[in-house]
Amino acid sequence: MTEARIRHGRAALAFSFFAQGVAFALLVTRIPAVQDRYGVSDALLPVFLAAVPVLAGVGSVGAEQLVGRLPPSVVLRWAQPVVLLSLLGVGAGDTMTELAVALGVFGLSVGALDASMNMLGVSLQHTYGRSIMLGFHAAYSLGGIFGATLAWLGAHGQLSLFVSYLPVAAVLLPGALLGSRWYVDAVPGPSTGDGQGAATADAAEAAVAFRMLLPLCLVMTFAYIGDSTVSNWSAKYLQDVLGSSEQLATVPYNVYMATTLIGRSLGDLGVRRFGAAAVVRAGALLAALGFGTVAAAPGAWTGMLGFTLLGLGLCVLVPQTFAAAGRLFPGASDAAVARLNVFNYVGFLIGSPLVGVLGDIWNHRVAMLVPMALVLVTLVYAREFAPRQPAAA
């Protein structure tokens, strides 16, 4: 494989991460508008928010099965257009049933998309021989900033969801299909073999060694509990608890994504200089400080300072968890990434309703302390990110 081909594959995958960041931000930052359009009550909202990660977990498991027969590039090539079309469906519907169908398709396809994107990212990092995973997730953060900005413009201009989503889908969908021509799949090495039987054996080996993957699964869960708290509740928290306007309520997610972009853009250099374990420890401490600031914030601007710290802290955890799984199971990285990706949605499934339930029982300020405590637990598992002898494959 030529060096130019690998560079093109890296750029194409970065665009895929960018497009996914745009799509996800446009959905989560307009949750109040989705509620208003479809008449979703505050009591019913957690059900919708929980259904998406459950179906995404199913989609991730399905992606693991598919990559036994198809390259991850093929799965990604077709999952991304479905994600964009289902986002458009969220903006086009009128009834609760139509919303449920659109979100269901979004969840299933986004699970396959997330798994296949990170499979390709891990294999490319292995090809490069140095840390580049944070760069792909930086592209996702850049997309999130772009999407959150478009959401703010839509809310400020009182545009309907469909009018806000249509231009984005019209631009990103053909771009993703065109870029998919340059995706680069892993090249089988001497240890993995070329046949289907060898790939099946590798997947089986990964399943046997699940206990070795479990610490990374816990870190992934805790990170996404924190991330889902920001994604699903930052707008409502700023508006309902800190008294901001609807327009200002879209800003925390934008601030959060901006700081994740900064952290991830510099993160690969930090990993190369200080090591993955040190970067993960620093990230966990910053994230905990961010949650504490949000919980104690007297007003909207202090709350946004807390979301700034959250972005700088949480941003390194997920990319490094995927990278660590790839190092641990070099002969079965696709299976390891797909299994690990399921815990992305476990975190979302727990985090979103957890904050809502605790907010109803006590208040949303107290609810913010729970993800803070869970992120701190990550410190116990930081040693799992240090390079070590990979599992036999």
Question: What CATH number does residue 25 fall under?
Answer: 1.20.1250.20
Q: Higher model confidence: residue 71 or residue 359? A: 71
In a domain, 188, yes or no: no
Residue range(s) defining the domain that contains residue 365: 3-183+196-385
pLDDT (0 to 100) of residue 114: 96
Average confidence (pLDDT) over 135-160: 90
Q: pLDDT, tens digit, for every residue of 188-214?
A: 544 444 444 444 444 444 443 677 889
- Residue 37 has a CB neighbour count (10 Å cut-off) of 17
- Cα end-to-end span (Å), the chain: 24
Q: Does 359 score more than 80 pLDDT?
A: yes
pLDDT (0 to 100) of residue 194: 43
In a domain, 190, yes or no: no
pLDDT band at 1 (very low <50, low <70, confident <90, very high): low
Q: Does 109 score more than 50 pLDDT?
A: yes
pLDDT (0 to 100) of residue 324: 92
What CA–CA distance (Å, rounded) separates 356 from 352?
7
What CA–CA distance (Å, rounded) separates 99 from 17?
25
Q: Residue 330 in contact with residue 126, Cβ under 8 Å?
A: yes
pLDDT (0 to 100) of residue 349: 83
Average confidence (pLDDT) over 70-76: 95
In a domain, 364, yes or no: yes
pLDDT (0 to 100) of residue 362: 83
Q: Residue 51 in contact with residue 90, Cβ under 8 Å?
A: no
What CA–CA distance (Å, rounded) separates 179 from 299?
43
pLDDT (0 to 100) of residue 103: 95
Q: pLDDT, tens digit, for every residue of 215-241?
A: 999 999 999 999 888 877 787 788 888
In a domain, 391, yes or no: no
In a domain, 374, yes or no: yes
Percent of the chain predicted with pLDDT > 90:
56
Can you read off the two tokens belonging to residue 127? Answer: 């090809």
In a domain, 18, yes or no: yes
* Alpha-carbon distances, residue 201 vs 60, 189, 205, 330, 366 (angstroms): 20, 15, 6, 13, 47
Number of domains the chain contains: 1
In a domain, 304, yes or no: yes
- Residue (of 286, 335, 291, 319) closest to 68 by Cα position: 335
**Lowest mean pLDDT across 155-159, 231-235, 325-329, 379-383:** 231-235
Burial of 126 (0-12, 13-18, 19+ CB in 10 A): middle
Q: Taking the model in full, what pTM does it have?
A: 0.86
User: Which residue is listed with tokens 């002898």?
Assistant: 389
pLDDT band at 16 (very low <50, low <70, confident <90, very high): very high
What CA–CA distance (Å, rounded) separates 212 from 327?
12
What CA–CA distance (Å, rounded) separates 50 from 89?
19
Report DSSP state, residue 95.
S
Percent of the chain predicted with pLDDT > 70:
92
What CA–CA distance (Å, rounded) separates 11 from 13?
5
In a domain, 319, yes or no: yes
- Residue (of 219, 293, 281) closest to 256 by Cα position: 293
Query: What does the chain come to in residues?
Result: 393
Q: Name the 3-class secondary structure at 43.
A: coil
